Amino acid sequence: MISFESDYTTGAHPQILKRLTESNTEALSGYGNDPYCSSAREKIKAACNCPQAEIYFLTGGTQTNAVVIAAMLRGYEGVVAAKTGHINLHEAGAIEYTGHKTLVLPHHNGKIDPEELDWYLKSFYEDSNHGHMAFPGMAYLSHPTEYGTLYAKKELERIAAICRAYQIPLYLDGARLGYGLASRETDVTLEDVARLCDVFCIGGTKVGALCGEAVVFTKKNAPPHFMTTVKQHGALLAKGRLLGVQFDALFTDGLYMEISRHAIEMAERLKEILQGKGYPFYLDSPTNQQFVILENDRMERLKKEVAFSFWEKYDDSHTVVRFATGWSTTKEELCQLERIL
Amino acid sequence: MISFESDYTTGAHPQILKRLTESNTEALSGYGNDPYCSSAREKIKAACNCPQAEIYFLTGGTQTNAVVIAAMLRGYEGVVAAKTGHINLHEAGAIEYTGHKTLVLPHHNGKIDPEELDWYLKSFYEDSNHGHMAFPGMAYLSHPTEYGTLYAKKELERIAAICRAYQIPLYLDGARLGYGLASRETDVTLEDVARLCDVFCIGGTKVGALCGEAVVFTKKNAPPHFMTTVKQHGALLAKGRLLGVQFDALFTDGLYMEISRHAIEMAERLKEILQGKGYPFYLDSPTNQQFVILENDRMERLKKEVAFSFWEKYDDSHTVVRFATGWSTTKEELCQLERIL
Amino acid sequence: MISFESDYTTGAHPQILKRLTESNTEALSGYGNDPYCSSAREKIKAACNCPQAEIYFLTGGTQTNAVVIAAMLRGYEGVVAAKTGHINLHEAGAIEYTGHKTLVLPHHNGKIDPEELDWYLKSFYEDSNHGHMAFPGMAYLSHPTEYGTLYAKKELERIAAICRAYQIPLYLDGARLGYGLASRETDVTLEDVARLCDVFCIGGTKVGALCGEAVVFTKKNAPPHFMTTVKQHGALLAKGRLLGVQFDALFTDGLYMEISRHAIEMAERLKEILQGKGYPFYLDSPTNQQFVILENDRMERLKKEVAFSFWEKYDDSHTVVRFATGWSTTKEELCQLERIL
Amino acid sequence: MISFESDYTTGAHPQILKRLTESNTEALSGYGNDPYCSSAREKIKAACNCPQAEIYFLTGGTQTNAVVIAAMLRGYEGVVAAKTGHINLHEAGAIEYTGHKTLVLPHHNGKIDPEELDWYLKSFYEDSNHGHMAFPGMAYLSHPTEYGTLYAKKELERIAAICRAYQIPLYLDGARLGYGLASRETDVTLEDVARLCDVFCIGGTKVGALCGEAVVFTKKNAPPHFMTTVKQHGALLAKGRLLGVQFDALFTDGLYMEISRHAIEMAERLKEILQGKGYPFYLDSPTNQQFVILENDRMERLKKEVAFSFWEKYDDSHTVVRFATGWSTTKEELCQLERIL
């Protein structure tokens, strides 16, 4: 059976496995103090054109969000996010577990509207009871969003300006950042992300690594003793090399973008196929995840030949499902899919 | 200046002060182990017609919500509440501080809709990704709500049935319970509340006490070692008598309902006055809080002669404000208000 | 039966009840924004000779410790305390509930040794693995300690100097501060406490109030939006006047020290009686709590005529018990005790 | 330079890398729902002779301790551990971050004494103030301990009996379990561990894996929805296969014990060398970690040729250091070490 279930169904890009194998017997210090982590940090700084960046490697996405948000908020602050934001819906309450409220804005195809953010922050401080409410202490975006959509550079600039005006950091969750940067329909570069955000993460797990997210603090604003906070959250790997070697490989010779572009090309072909077969799209996604509405009967039949993801109930007889491409998606699989659909 | 700012602007009902004074020099054990606490518990059980009730006294409303909710939820669960629920909006993230997410339903004049609750719970378990989401572990209602509105007995019965079906406890926040029970427009009695809810609180602070909320577990379901949990939250008074004596007084000779009926009568007269003067109501409240929409200019002028509460911005030139009555509201104050308006 | 069970067995000093009664019908704003709270703050500042002090009123001791410590520590920090410190032993894990570790030093009759504190801090930073450990972020003292003992001024000065050297705040838990200041065997004044500590609390509950602790930040170092943090912990009273009126009374015409001196005089007489009867003291306490070692048989007999507190097991046949005096202890009760012993 | 710094300085055992490479392109479901995780679970059950075991894979040791302990304790409970227990000293307050206190017992070469545990539990319930204290809700052991020492089977049996008597679960932290089982000086088998403990973990990170700990609930006592709790703690890997494949390899053809025995043999030789050179041992460790006392001068000279770990200050002129062996330690490295020492 072929799988378009997600971008984390297969293992690591072969180049990553190769580097893990080659470096395997070197004796290295633990906890991120090894030369591969250092080298990966330098390469990421260069790719971001952000020499002052402070970079840490964590293992997973929910973990990264929880650790970064908890470390940057003060005790009485919450994080502002779209209703559909990953931290609000699909992290099992991991943010709240750290003691902080998620302050919810409406979403528009997964994105927050900059003017709604501005209005929210303005209203908060105008409310004479705001001392009895959780303070907005950070803005959270995902890019691409949970629906595969992207912010335009102008939108990011406006959001960054609002955050500056209210003196709260802007955090961009880039669990699938590569696919956002490699999309044909974006004007946002990695440099833009580093320039506009106070902190962001570069997802490895969903872009060819076995695991791993790189957290980038861009304004010399890494929380003091952040490594201890990472440990306190149970997020510090003893063999930090596992993350260092992988990110070093991903940021050598442009592998991260190569993987991302490949998945985007495969997604474009996927989109053509789905369109060709007359499947209605739930929304227009310019990245590696495509959302279509299936009749429940058809969905059940398809399931037997191709793996995809349940997304949400559409109505009593239809379901929104997701097809995703990744580093390992092949043209052959797409041809096979076309035959099946 | 006269005040309709809230139901907690004046001290305690004289009968309560009298009892505190009379009992003042008795040497009593601390932490709720005194005869006044015991007596108050017995009187509350009788008033609820719930002999198996387990009753604890806490000092404030936010504290009570946080302690009860944290003690009853399992780690991976959140609490379902209306978007306007006190725990979601005006408790500074106190629930989240205990590590639990507030799972938000739409509100209808402050109330949740039973069918929306049912749909939410049904959808949660149908979603194949629900293992990645905070589980609904309790339903939270306030009665009266933050808008002074009330659930009908039928609605409470339906909500209780839904909670039973999904095996989650129903918690009713009765910070102003007396005003709900004393309203002319309710068919809900204290016995109904005790019968239908798994746990609820009887607010003292806003119904004539200096401070204090009585938590009532109705189904032999008090969490084990709940007193220790209360202590752990910093919510255990050394001089527990302060709460015991007050609740003993409130539940002697029907004082709690007497205070409540008085405030409701005053609120009915207040409503007439406001209607007579042509003030538009924001919504129809059958309890001791009345919400009207004021032009901002008029609001500024009124402020100089009468105290009331800012509630929320209505539009750029109007504001929703609240007038509240309480145990100490007098006919004279209402006459004076009528002259001012 | 007479009671020396604790300093919180009776209600409030009559002067406090009087002021609560007199102010009862005044309509005042809630949450600590009333003129009594303001007046109490000014009087405390004057008593401390600390015009820049920022003062907040909370209800109980465990609550105060948890809120202050959580608000002042960074996420990765713990609080250093004696093994017998109230926060380490008798607060049901309230500090840990806020996410922070208690870092334990040995105790010497309830006190920490300044040089052991210095050594601990020095060793911590010398340990090359300290990044994997909770950082010491505050020093906690109780004065009087849980054993009724007192720090000398020199000791407090040395501890304060160490804290400054390691840039951590010094917090003094003064749940029974009055009895420490009124002891004949102290050279520490309230001004000293305010000068040497970064934050401390003045206990009301155990010194004549119904409830209430005043938190004093002495160095313009109150955490931002501290009131919101207090709310978030469920520690904000709606009728803040209850605390304001009480502390205003306690700091009018020296009532706080008058109450304290009275209890100390009663404790001195108590000590004489216990010594006269040949009871061995567990340690020498210069304050209102006296600890003696009783044979278990004798303890059981005494229990029937006088209330005192179990403190700890001494050996299989003996127990350490505590006798305490307070604002309401009378000479008559002491005479009666003498007859009974 | 040769390294005896730790058992996590090199990558994975070649057999593990091989299996990761072979399975790399298979499309598998995420989050631990893949056939490798299932197969690994079956093999571990068989190795433990515990068919009813419920097994979960997490990434790291501190994470495992925090997630398991938080999931099994009730809110008002703490975990009993030796003063030197990993959770008390070297996890940056990760347990306290979950809201639970570590209740500390003395250590004896890293171990707790069963009778001291019994005495502690007995005294807790005899103390009439125990309602004001964190309840002991679990006993935590590490085996091998942080000093490489081992419990005898009798000791484990006694501890298990005490835990049963007080109805608290026994948790064994087996971050280095293999080295304990492969020691010549143990009478404890993996079956014993599974029989005596309520939950334990089998460390992968320090026994040949890139990362990974297997949590084994032995009494059908896995907390409900444990996977959601794992997610909530940020501990759920999207590519769960990374852990499944590794543990499947470790428990195929006895690889886990083969790795462990190899490291033990290397440690025995290491011990001989250190003894031969006259280094005083800090204590006698029968496992893969050896602790010796070095003069500081000598330590500085050695550091230039061989990597080892600082453990703790011994006195002003001596330091305790650790030499550790692991899957990749070779006879050649030991010969080289002998020449250097």
pLDDT digits (tens, 9 = 90+) for D170-188: 999 999 999 999 999 999 9
pLDDT at C173 over 90: yes
CA angle B256, B262, B264 (to 5 degrees): 100
Decide if B93 and A104 are in contact by the 8 Å CB cutoff. Answer: no
> Which residues from C are below 8 Å from D106, CB to CB?
none
Nearest CA in chain C to A68: C75
The minimum CA-CA distance between C173 and chain A, rounded to whole Å, is: 22
Rounded to whole angstroms, how far apart are CA atoms A78 and B316? 27
Q: How many CB atoms lie within 10 A of CB D183?
A: 23
Decide if D60 and A307 are in contact by the 8 Å CB cutoff. Answer: no
Buried b (16+ CB within 10 A) or exposed e, A19-54: bbbebbebbbbbbbebebbebbbebbbebbebeebb
* Residues D140 and D87: beta-carbon distance below 8 Å: yes
Provide the pLDDT for residue D1. Answer: 87
Residue from the list C23, C94, C307 with its beta carbon closest to the beta carbon of B231: C94
* Residues B174 and B47: beta-carbon distance below 8 Å: no
* β pairing state of D309-315 and D318-324: antiparallel
Count of CB contacts below 8 A, A vs B? 70
Residue from the list B75, B99, B225 with its beta carbon closest to the beta carbon of D131: B225
Residue from the list C3, C11, C27 with its beta carbon closest to the beta carbon of B20: C11
Rounded to whole angstroms, how far apart are CA atoms D100 and C330? 43
Residue from the list A6, A20, A59 with its beta carbon closest to the beta carbon of D237: A59
- Residue linked to tokens 């950042």: A177
Mean pLDDT of A224-247: 98
Please report, to the nearest 10 degrees, the dihedral formed by the alpha carbons of residues C89, C91, C94, C100 taken in order. Answer: -30
Q: Mean pLDDT in chain D?
A: 97
The minimum CA-CA distance between A17 and chain D, rounded to whole Å, is: 7
Decide if D96 and C99 are in contact by the 8 Å CB cutoff. Answer: yes
C29, C74, C168, C230: best to mutate for the A interface, most A CBs within 10 A: C74
Decide if C60 and B236 are in contact by the 8 Å CB cutoff. Answer: yes
Question: Which residues are CB-neighbours of C28 under 8 A, at least 6 positions away?
Answer: B9, B10, C34, C35, C36, C241
Distance between alpha carbon B148 and the CA centroid of its chain, in Å? 10
The minimum CA-CA distance between A139 and chain C, rounded to whole Å, is: 19
Decide if D23 and A11 are in contact by the 8 Å CB cutoff. Answer: yes
> Which residues from D are below 8 Å from C101, CB to CB?
93, 96, 102
> Which residues from A are below 8 Å from D89, CB to CB?
none
Residue from the list B70, B76, B228 with its beta carbon closest to the beta carbon of D232: B76
Mean pLDDT of C99-117: 98
Decide if C91 and B232 are in contact by the 8 Å CB cutoff. Answer: yes
The minimum CA-CA distance between C233 and chain B, rounded to whole Å, is: 6
Decide if A132 and C231 are in contact by the 8 Å CB cutoff. Answer: yes
Ramachandran bin of D215, using left for φ above 0, alpha for ψ from -120 to 50, beta for the remaining angles: beta
Provide the pLDDT for residue A283. Answer: 96
> Which residues from A are below 8 Å from C229, CB to CB?
75-76
Residue from the list A70, A134, A228 with its beta carbon closest to the beta carbon of C135: A228
In this structure, chain D runs to a length of 341
Nearest CA in chain B to D129: B228
Rounded to whole angstroms, how far apart are CA atoms C42 and A178? 59
CA angle B136, B140, B144 (to 5 degrees): 160
Residue B223 main-chain phi, psi, to 5 deg: -60, 145
Nearest CA in chain D to A88: D232
pLDDT digits (tens, 9 = 90+) for D127-167: 989 999 999 999 999 999 999 999 999 999 999 999 999 99
Question: Which residues are CB-neighbours of A88 under 8 A, at least 6 positions away?
Answer: A81, A82, A102, A104
| Nearest CA-CA partner of B71 in B243, B215, B237, B202 | B215
Decide if D101 and C104 are in contact by the 8 Å CB cutoff. Answer: no
Decide if B76 and A92 are in contact by the 8 Å CB cutoff. Answer: yes
**Strand arrangement, sheet containing B289-295:** B289-295, B318-324, B309-315
Rounded to whole angstroms, how far apart are CA atoms B52 and A90? 40
The minimum CA-CA distance between A231 and chain C, rounded to whole Å, is: 7
Rounded to whole angstroms, how far apart are CA atoms A100 and A76? 8
Residue C64 tokens, joined: 């105060």
> Which residues from C are below 8 Å from B94, CB to CB?
231-234
pLDDT digits (tens, 9 = 90+) for D265-290: 999 999 999 999 999 999 999 999 99
Residue C62 tokens, joined: 């465990």
Chain D partners (3+ C-beta pairs within 8 A): A, B, C
Rounded to whole angstroms, how far apart are CA atoms C3 and C216? 32
pLDDT digits (tens, 9 = 90+) for A240-265: 999 999 999 999 999 999 999 999 99
- Residue linked to tokens 């127990």: C319
In chain A, what percentage of residues exceed pLDDT 70?
A: 100
Mean pLDDT of A77-81: 98
Decide if C29 and B17 are in contact by the 8 Å CB cutoff. Answer: no
A88, A100, A132: best to mutate for the B interface, most B CBs within 10 A: A132
Count of CB contacts below 8 A, A vs D? 160
pLDDT at A275 over 90: yes
- Residue linked to tokens 């005899």: D126
pLDDT at A115 over 90: yes
Rounded to whole angstroms, how far apart are CA atoms B338 and C84? 61
Q: Is the ipTM of this complex over 0.90?
A: yes
Residue A273 tokens, joined: 């196929």
Mean pLDDT of A317-334: 97
Residue D162 main-chain phi, psi, to 5 deg: -65, -45
Query: Which segments of chain D have a pLDDT < 70?
Result: none
> Which residues from B are below 8 Å from A99, CB to CB?
93, 96-99
Q: Residue B18 is inside which H or E element, if any?
A: helix B14-22
The minimum CA-CA distance between B60 and chain A, rounded to whole Å, is: 14
> Which residues from C are below 8 Å from D99, CB to CB?
93, 96-99
Task: List strand residue ranges (DSSP E) for C157-205, in order.
Answer: 170-173, 199-203
Decide if A134 and B92 are in contact by the 8 Å CB cutoff. Answer: yes
Rounded to whole angstroms, how far apart are CA atoms A113 and A246? 35
Rounded to whole angstroms, how far apart are CA atoms A215 and A58? 7
Structure confidence at residue A1 as a pLDDT band (50, 70, 90): confident
Provide the pLDDT for residue C295. Answer: 95
CA angle C261, C265, C270 (to 5 degrees): 140
> Which residues from B are below 8 Å from D68, CB to CB?
none
> Which residues from D are below 8 Å from C310, CB to CB?
127-129
| CA distances from residue C340 to A79, C206, D131, D337 in whole angstroms, order as listed | 63, 26, 30, 76
Q: Mean pLDDT in chain A?
A: 97
- Residue linked to tokens 């007479």: C2
Chain B partners (3+ C-beta pairs within 8 A): A, C, D
Residue A146 tokens, joined: 């949970």
pLDDT at C1 over 90: no
pTM of the model: 0.97
* Residues D203 and D58: beta-carbon distance below 8 Å: no
Query: Which segments of chain B have a pLDDT < 50?
Result: none
Distance between alpha carbon D152 and the CA centroid of its chain, in Å? 16
Q: What is the DSSP secondary structure assignment for residue A192, as one 8-state letter?
A: H
> Which residues from B are below 8 Å from A132, CB to CB?
90-92
| Nearest CA-CA partner of C86 in C168, C141, C159 | C141
